[in-house]
Amino acid sequence: MPLTRAEAATRAALVDVHEYEIHLDVTADGDTFASRTVVRFSATPGAATFLEFEPVSVSSLTLNGQAVPSSAMADGRLMLSDLAASNELAVTATMRYSNTGEGLHKYVDPADGNVYLYQHLFINNAGRVLPAFDQPDMKASVKVSVTAPETWKVAANGELVSHSAGEWSFAPTKPISTYLATLFAGPFHAVTDSHDGIPLALYVRAALAEHLDEQAEELFTVTKQCLDRYHEMFDIRYPFGHYQQAFAPEFNFGAMEYPGLVIFRDEMIYRSAVTESQREARANVIAHEMAHMWFGDLVTMAWWDDLWLNESFAEYLGTRVAAEATRFTGTWTTFAMQRKAWGLRADQHPSTHPVAPESVADTDEALLNFDGISYAKGAATLKQLVAWVGDEAFRRGLNAHFAAHAYGNATLDDLLSALAAASGRDLSAWAAVWLRRAQVNTLRTSIGADGSVAVLQTAPAEYPTLRPHRLEIGRYEQGADGAVVRQSLVSAEIAATERTEISGLSDVSDKSGLLLLNDGDLTYAKIRLDEASAAAVPSLLPLIDDSLARAVLWASTLDAVVDGERPVAELVTLVLAALPMETEVVIVEDVLRATRGLVDRYATAETRPAALELVAQATDRLLAASEPGGSRQLAAARGLIGATVETARLQDWLAGTGVPEGLAIDADLRWLILYRLVVLGAAGRAEIDAEFERDRSSTGEQWAARCRAAVPDADAKAAAWAAIVEDVSLSNRLVEMTASGFWQPEQLGLLAPYVPRYFAEMPSMMRLRSGMSAERTAGLAYPDVVVDPETRRLAAELLAHEHLDPILRRVVQDLDDDMRKALDARS
């Protein structure tokens, strides 16, 4: 049962929770574990309240020494009445492990049979492990002990006090919210270090031990560099004792900011060759989660309507600190190319919402707001704020905010007050248009016949807000050496009006150059070039020396195609002309990913083969031009594998024949090749089973599930569909991988019967799974490649149901809107 904001406010007014003392016994085989919890809290005498609690069975339940009847438990809640001023609740219960990445998740490694556990109580899952006041503004100290098999190790938020013969005891934490309590347990491999008085540790499954040992130096280096930079920025040092980082299997998020024990999905311990952009992304995630130690953990939002105080700040600071402190200096290029595009897509969906909504009704709605708006749009908005108030004032305001609310909770108004005091600016008007109102503006350059320049601003009719923007406009021209360089740059204050005249730009009447609006990517908006600049993009884009400028141009081009303003045929022509010369790997990867998705949905059945062939030619040229063994070569090879229909060439690569010099056909690349061969009907179950025998790992198991779902025959599709909608024994990751392999544009005839089945059967799937696992499965299983009015008609029928699951409603609503755009583009 979701917790409403009203219920949370009422409970917080009645109760002040002080401590959770938790003992878990995970030694028994099977799908349950023992939980013994003591909760100490004060309350308004005589009041009644409840805790979240979802036990399998309860053997003992007392409040202040008196037995509480079993009838007090219903619908995931434990009701208590006649509270004293000071209370102690003691509960001994049997709880159930999860396979959805929520509660206490249990995983069996196919590589060696080892069992691993991690605790993920995010948003409203604490009741799956212990009775809890599960809301962010009821912080308490958490003291954990664990009885585990003697061969296991255990790590938790608190520092280790003792362990002997399978008994592990950890120190009480500082006050934290319930969703931030975690542990990691199993026969894991550990690497330790320390920095500036802070103990450091890395944990991973035993099957990945050798890979962690190879990568530990890089991981520790990034961690130490980020710690140093945050200590330079913030007056309060890292506030939670040790800094451990665990890499866990089947983790729902990329990572989670548990104080003292950050948990990442263990795909971030690489077992095969990766590109430099993937290493940059990992460093960015490390910096992002570390930012949460202050934004989210030290100072926590009071309720989920201020989620942006966690995620927008971590997104902004993670990108910034990774660029400033580590060797990965190009993170803002990645942000412009990748993260901001995520925000723009989410902001234009029917489910759009403000960065800081006025109200979030309950925890179900809160889960849905973990999207590109709360992360990327909020971060872009903060980048704009820093450009406006200045960096020193921004940092002074943050430090004042931390000092005022350390180990407590805060709101939007609390932060704005601190920033306003530090900067001397009234931020209420800025917050009203940037944080409290949804959707995005479009900015266009307009050049007059006399060479004058103006920026035109528009907004969607249903969200008519115009905003002030601080940005830069660059003039690019080709020099005698052939390179295209910035000849001039002006800063501009764009008013919250439809037209702003720009001064300070020279030679604009010369049509040979390119005028780049939002050069430096300082503001959050959809960018459109003037006609002359747009016409110059194909010839000038590959020669521009600034990777961030190229990212802004590529992002604008892709966005115009998404909106149907440019045809997909024009995009693939640009890809063929410009991408083989691109040196920034993240641009290569993101352009290929986005282009492939647009070709699959925007090109018709008649035009798709030719468009895909142009993409394959572009990747082939890029592959030939890339240095052997480098990141660009790997990105090009992946792109070629995904686009080509030359099955003989792919089969040769699997056999080790004709492989480009320096390209390692390692385990992950083998799976990618096999997956493409399966989609094209050139491999099947026998080849998948043989590859899984070769690679009996967690990653191999997931790839095998995806490949089996992609096999183009009726039996394989039937089995895959049953796994998606019925099989509760499958873990979150295996179901998601199955769904991701199911829909293929090459197999539309075979898949036609499953379009109506999606809309008929997905509501029942949502009752079998929960939370993020259900949301991801519903999205991945959506028939997005069946671009047809009938798909939209079926979506409308489903959305008309009054009591449709809110998570499924949002998924279908947004993906149906994408379908609308695809149909418009085709017509």
Q: By the 8 A CB rule, do 431 and 412 touch?
A: yes
Tens-place pLDDT, residues 162-208: 999 999 999 999 999 999 999 999 999 999 999 999 999 999 999 99
Give the whole-angstrom CA distance, residue 618 versus residue 639: 9
What's the CA angle centered on 607, arms 602 and 610, to 5 degrees? 115
Q: In 3D, which of 487, 486, 438 has the Cα closest to residue 465?
A: 438
797 is catalytic: no
Cα dist from 197 to 203, 238, 802, whole Å = 20, 11, 57
Alpha carbon distances (Å) from 285 to 255, 359, 679? 7, 28, 32
Closest CA to 752 of 605, 602, 647: 605
| pTM for the whole structure | 0.96
Q: What is the CA radius of gyration of the chain?
A: 27
Distance from chain centroid for Cα 810: 17
- How does residue 325 score in pLDDT terms, banded at 50, 70 and 90? very high
Q: Are 708 and 744 in contact (CB under 8 A)?
A: no
pLDDT at 302 over 90: yes
What DSSP string runs through 187-238? S-EEEEEEETTEEEEEEE-GGGHHHHHHHHHHHHHHHHHHHHHHHHH-SSPP
For the cut 70, the answer to whether the pLDDT of residue 730 exceeds it is: yes
Say if residue 714 is exposed, middle or buried (CB neighbours under 10 Å; 0-12, 13-18, 19+).
exposed
- The C-alpha atoms of residue 521 and residue 172 are separated, in whole angstroms, by 44
pLDDT at site 770 = 84
Percent of residues, the chain, with pLDDT higher than 70: 99
Q: Detail the DSSP E strand segments found in 273-337.
A: 299-301
Closest to 144 measured CA to CA, from 125, 129, 134: 129
Sheet containing 115-120: give its strands across. 103-108, 115-120, 183-186, 153-156
Contact 636, 626 (CB under 8 A): yes
C-alpha span between 332 and 682 (Å, rounded): 41
Q: Are 634 and 273 within 8 A, CB to CB?
A: yes
- Smallest Cα–Cα separation from 660: which of 624, 617, 630? 624
pLDDT given at position 456: 98
d(CA 677, CA 643): 11
Above 70 in pLDDT, residue 509? no
pLDDT band at residue 74 using 50, 70 and 90 as cut-offs: very high
Would you kindly state where each structural domain of the chain is located, as residue ranges? Answer: 729-827
Confidence class of residue 508 from pLDDT cuts 50, 70 and 90? low
Decide if pLDDT at 482 tops 90: no
Q: How many CB atoms lie within 10 A of CB 794?
A: 21
The pLDDT mean for the chain works out to 96
By three-state DSSP, how is residue 249 classified? coil
Running DSSP on this structure, what letter comes out for residue 172? P
Q: How far apart are the first and last CA of the chain?
A: 44
pLDDT at 671 over 90: yes
Q: Which of 289, 311, 315, 775 is catalytic?
A: 289
Query: Residue 506 above 80 pLDDT?
Result: no
Cβ atoms of 468 and 499 closer than 8 Å? no
State residue 510's pLDDT score.
Answer: 61
pLDDT tier for residue 698 given thresholds of 50, 70 and 90 = very high
209-267 pLDDT, tens digit each = 999 999 999 999 999 999 999 999 999 999 999 999 999 999 999 999 999 999 999 99
